[in-house]
C-alpha cells in the first residue's frame, strides 16, 4: 500500500483490514485479462453499514497497470469497500478516476483465482451484487461454490 498514491483510499483500506472487514470475503467478479474484484462482506449486517459509507475520490497519481490495487466506483466520490486487482495494463481507467492505492507483490495467487463465472449478473453468469449484499456468503457458497476467498486480511509492515 502506498498512501501517497491515494491517501483516502489507502486509509479506508487500512481501516477495513484492521476491523476484519475483508476476512472470509470472496473474489466475486474475476474477469480474465482484466481484473479481480472483491470487497462485499460475506456478513450481510456489515454490508448494511459500509454499502453507503462513501469516501471522496483521490487524484489519480498511479496507473492501473498489472498488479495495481484500486477501489471500485459507481461514479464520482462513491468508493466504499470494493476494490479490484488489475490483471493487465488497464491504464484507460486512469482518466476515469480510478486511483490505485497499492500493488500486489506476487501475482501468482491472483492469476490463479477462479474466473469461470465471469461478469456478474445481469450481464454475465457471476453473482448478483444485490443478493450478495443481502445474503452474504450463504448465497455465494450455495450458488457459486468455485469462488476464491480472502481467508484473513492483515497489515504487514
Question: Domain locations in the chain?
Answer: 7-150
Q: Which residue has the cell 491517501?
A: 7
Number of H helices, E strands in the chain: 5, 6
pLDDT band at 16 (very low <50, low <70, confident <90, very high): very high
Spatial separation of the C-alpha atoms in residues 127 and 140, rounded to whole Å: 7
Q: Is the pLDDT of residue 157 over 80?
A: no
Contacts of 27 (CB under 8 A, 6+ apart): 36, 37, 38, 113, 114, 147, 148, 149, 150
Tell me the CATH number for domain 7-150. 2.40.100.10
Dump pLDDT digits (tens) for 48-103: 999 999 999 999 999 999 999 999 999 999 999 999 999 999 999 999 999 999 99
Report phi then psi at 79, rounded to 5: -70, 135
Distances in Å between the Cα of 27 and the Cα atoms of 11, 32, 84 are: 21, 13, 9
**How far apart are alpha carbons 26 and 39 in whole angstroms?**
7
Q: Choose among 96, 100, 92: nearest CA to 69.
A: 100
Amino acid at each position: 500500500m502506498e498512501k501517497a498514491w491515494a491517501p483516502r483510499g489507502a486509509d479506508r483500506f487500512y481501516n477495513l483490514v484492521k476491523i476484519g472487514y475483508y476476512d472470509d470475503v470472496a473474489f466475486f467478479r474475476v474477469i480474465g485479462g482484466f481484473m479481480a474484484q472483491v470487497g462485499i462482506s460475506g456478513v450481510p449486517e456489515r454490508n448494511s453499514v459500509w454499502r453507503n459509507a462513501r469516501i471522496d475520490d483521490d487524484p489519480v497519481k498511479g496507473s492501473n497497470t498489472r498488479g495495481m490495487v484500486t477501489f471500485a466506483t459507481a461514479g464520482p466520490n462513491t468508493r466504499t469497500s470494493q476494490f479490484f486487482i488489475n490483471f493487465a495494463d488497464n491504464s484507460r481507467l486512469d482518466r476515469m478516476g480510478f486511483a490505485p492505492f497499492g500493488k500486489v507483490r506476487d501475482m501468482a495467487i491472483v492469476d490463479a483465482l477462479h474466473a469461470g463465472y465471469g461478469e456478474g449478473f445481469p450481464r454475465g453468469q457471476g453473482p448478483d451484487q444485490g443478493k450478495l449484499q443481502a445474503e452474504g456468503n450463504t448465497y455465494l457458497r450455495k450458488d457459486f461454490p468455485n469462488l476464491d476467498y480472502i481467508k484473513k486480511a492483515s497489515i504487514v509492515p
